[in-house]
Structure 1
């Protein structure tokens, strides 16, 4: 989450709110409160249900008591048909709590007395069950004496007290739940502060470690898991710092050793060429001045000495190039591979014409590489194709490019000698010859591999029945560590020879 500028107060306030909302403390409190609200909701609902059932049970007990009172009080006046006394009793019943009306019917169903009801000539039917949402509960009970029914009393009870009791219970439950939630938030905030404060310290420390600062570590005392984690984090930071220091020392030693080895190899290769030149010169001088004293066998020995000395000189020269490629970091830029290939083709034009070569160059892409290194690779591969060509056949060399996931695969295919399948793994090693009588030094392919690898690519030989198919991969213009530098449009080369054309 990016922190806004200091001057934008609204953005900073929003950023602080989002930061707090994303914090572990806020999530712990929010999840705990939500769980508690859910549990309290279930508890309140269950409590209200139980209390409602208890109220209904109390109402049922009261109904049974009223039915007994009605039956005892009204059976005498009903038998005696003393309706005046009955009306007085009904007026007395209206003073009972929640009683709204009382209607008495005789055994034949005639209304003989009523009180409290707006008489419409129709007796309200008895409700099958008590519903607190209805304003009046209509009930009926028989008037009996010694198991003989003399009539029926209909009465209505107000449910307002039930609704008030339910509302009071709901209000009390909600108030209690609200107070409990508020206290829980306060307690959880305090606990969350003490619990997450140390986690925030660990988080800050881990961020600093990720940024490379291994010197600071949280000092958290205790025996709980957080303190143990802090101790492990301190130990890890110390171990990483120690390992980095060791790696830095080893890297410096390795660089110094590589530089020394490269210097020794370069100096050795340079100084060994001087005695080789002397061997070649004096061998040739001996062959010219004392030709009459040498027989055919001696002259053959001298030619072998001269040939092998020249070969060793070529090996030393290429060894110097290999050491230079191994110890030099070349800049990576966006280059036009077609222009590099055209420059190499121009330099190799005489050798290709001497070999009567037929060259096909496909459309080349732009890649992220070093132009000089790429040209050296192409130069070596074309040299190899010319040197190891079949003497009876015309050399055919095709250069093509194919897009890969994040780079390009360049293929150089010829009809010369084929590398054996069992040697494909070591084909690019030092002093590996395709054919001893053709290879000049045995370092050219190893140098190609070194140059391609230094540019972040790879090189390999595809198995084929006839000829050689050398391929190498280079990253495209979006490759790693590639400076966006436009490639040159003009290049020295034969007029009319462009990528995608045949010379």
Structure 2
């Protein structure tokens, strides 16, 4: 013990006993004690069970059967007396039946009484006395009464015969008293073993309580106090005193922990110096990045404005070029040579394609910049507008457009109309030559999003080109085979992303093309779907089913559904159809 002015300080002594070793030793001692107690309890419980079995299954039935044996013998003696008085054979029925029952009782009691050797001779005495009474009294009375009459039979029943029967009664009483003694011994043994079981249980409880107390005190002295001291030192370091050395006490594990914490403190103190130096560099870099981000935002804004202004500025001279080229084509067609007509046609076609490119580029730049605000949009009404916009193209291609009941979502109706019109137009345009186009639009609720599909029976898209079709001005076919600017699907992708959705090509569609996109669902749609799913689960719990669930439109997308359910504001079931036939 080291003494310092104003306080006492105890220098911890080295301790080689690890915490694991201490706990294992304590548990081993407790386990041995509890094991011995359990073994003793098992032995005592077995004895208690044996004594209980003896009282309930041997002495109890023996006592009942001995009483029944007495009753059977009394009935036989009464039957003999009655027969001697009346000579009626019916009076002998208790005697005949009693004799058979008596023998059965001897056999039953013999099996039970074998466990009590002292009672076996007593039962044998009763059996012998009963047999002698039957041979010397009962049978002669029956024979004499039958041959010489009731008077002769009554003459054989004397005081001597009554004493012989009383001797049987005395032997049975002695047997019953012995059975009662054995029962009392068994009951005393049951009480003794039950008391011993209670004592053993109390001792086991005391062992557990004492072991728990020892463990609690040991943990407080060996673990809690050293840990508390270690925590105080760690808090000093955490408050900023990184030069405070951390020391440990207690078992080797805690000392090792203290050493590891102190090593960590030293590393933290070393790293803090480097962090302080790096912080200034990071702040400078962040400042530069912030400036670059602001510059990039301004540049993007200028680029959007440039694209918009450039598109407008190009419109006027391009319209003039296109108008004069068309004027030349109408006025001088056939007056010049064939090559001149061809050159003029090239100029007219180029001007027109340039106009379409500028208009599409202008529409692409406007998405997300010129906004009318999100409102609730009924996609069924939108599909009606799309059917009207694409009517001429569908008439030309003899195409059929159908759609299921579609949901209500929040978005900009003009942009959503443009989105669906682009998808339907693409489906009609990229058709097979020998098959009338058929386009079908459907929707299903997946989690908290509506997954909307546009499926056709056209030429299809190879999986390796599934991502390229959404790149602006990206074309998979020449403009002579399929006209267009190659910006339609890029516009569709930008509209979907503007509505916080995603768009992809279902590469597992066997025939034609299926383009899927998602739009956020209204909260009430999600709540209705969850309520319907819970109701279906409750119904399935009460009724057997085949375990199948609806799968929406039956197509498997590149992104598997998370959850399916009904929408809100759905009208009558069944698809809607917009057809155009050439007559």
1:470 partnered with 2:515: yes
> CA distance change for structure 1 residues 349 and 238 in 2, over 3 Å: closer, same or farther?
farther
> Distance in 2 between the 1:363 and 1:312 partners?
39
What's the RMSD between the two structures over aligned residues? Answer: 4.7
> CA distance change for structure 1 residues 498 and 329 in 2, over 3 Å: closer, same or farther?
farther
Question: For residue 486 of structure 2, what is the aligned residue in structure 1?
Answer: 442
CA deviation after TM superposition for structure 1 residue 447, in Å: 1.3
> Distance in 2 between the 1:498 and 1:343 partners?
20
> CA distance change for structure 1 residues 257 and 478 in 2, over 3 Å: closer, same or farther?
farther
1:416 partnered with 2:455: no
Aligned length: 313
1:254 partnered with 2:293: no
CA deviation after TM superposition for structure 1 residue 413, in Å: 1.6
- SS of structure 1 residue aligned to 2:516: strand
1:426 partnered with 2:468: yes
Q: Deviations over 1:17-72 (max 9, x none)?
A: xxxxxxxxxxxxxxxxxx989969979x99xxxxxxxxxxxxxxxxxxxxxxxxxx
Give the counterpart of 2:352 among 298, 307, 310.
310
Question: For residue 452 of structure 1, what is the aligned residue in structure 2?
Answer: 496
> Distance in 2 between the 1:370 and 1:386 partners?
25
Task: Tell me the TM-score normalized by structure 2.
Answer: 0.44
> Distance in 1 between the 2:463 and 2:224 partners?
74
CA deviation after TM superposition for structure 1 residue 268, in Å: 1.8
> Distance in 1 between the 2:450 and 2:568 partners?
20
> CA distance change for structure 1 residues 183 and 327 in 2, over 3 Å: closer, same or farther?
same
CA deviation after TM superposition for structure 1 residue 406, in Å: 4.5
Task: Tell me the TM-score normalized by structure 1.
Answer: 0.50
Q: Is this contact kept in 1: 2:334–2:341, CA < 8 A?
A: no
Q: How does 1:356-371 map to 2 (within 5 A)?
A: 356-367=398-409, 369-371=411-413
Q: Deviations over 1:136-160 (max 9, x none)?
A: xxxxxxxxxxxxxxxxxxxxxxxxx
Give the counterpart of 1:193 among 224, 232, 245.
232
CA deviation after TM superposition for structure 1 residue 424, in Å: 2.8
> Distance in 1 between the 2:322 and 2:502 partners?
38
- SS of structure 1 residue aligned to 2:576: coil
Q: Deviations over 1:85-138 (max 9, x none)?
A: xxxxxxxxxxxxxxxxxxxxxxxxxxxxxxxxxxxxxxxxxxxxxxxxxxxxxx
Q: Is this contact kept in 2: 1:364–1:400, CA < 8 A?
A: yes
> Distance in 1 between the 2:458 and 2:222 partners?
88
Give the counterpart of 1:267 among 271, 295, 309.
309
Question: For residue 73 of structure 1, what is the aligned residue in structure 2?
Answer: none
Q: Is this contact kept in 2: 1:461–1:468, CA < 8 A?
A: yes
Q: Is this contact kept in 2: 1:342–1:499, CA < 8 A?
A: no
> CA distance change for structure 1 residues 365 and 187 in 2, over 3 Å: closer, same or farther?
same
Question: For residue 195 of structure 2, what is the aligned residue in structure 1?
Answer: none
Q: Is this contact kept in 1: 2:387–2:401, CA < 8 A?
A: no
Q: How does 1:174-323 map to 2 (within 5 A)?
A: 189=228, 192-199=231-238, 224-228=266-270, 230-231=272-273, 234=276, 241-291=283-333, 293-323=335-365
List alignment gaps of at least 5 residues for structure 1: 1-34, 47-169, 203-221, 480-486, 491-495
List alignment gaps of at least 5 residues for structure 2: 1-17, 30-209, 242-263, 525-566, 579-583
CA deviation after TM superposition for structure 1 residue 349, in Å: 4.2
CA deviation after TM superposition for structure 1 residue 500, in Å: 3.4
Question: For residue 500 of structure 1, what is the aligned residue in structure 2?
Answer: 575
Q: Is this contact kept in 2: 1:399–1:410, CA < 8 A?
A: yes
> CA distance change for structure 1 residues 268 and 180 in 2, over 3 Å: closer, same or farther?
closer
- SS of structure 1 residue aligned to 2:459: coil
> Distance in 2 between the 1:408 and 1:319 partners?
29
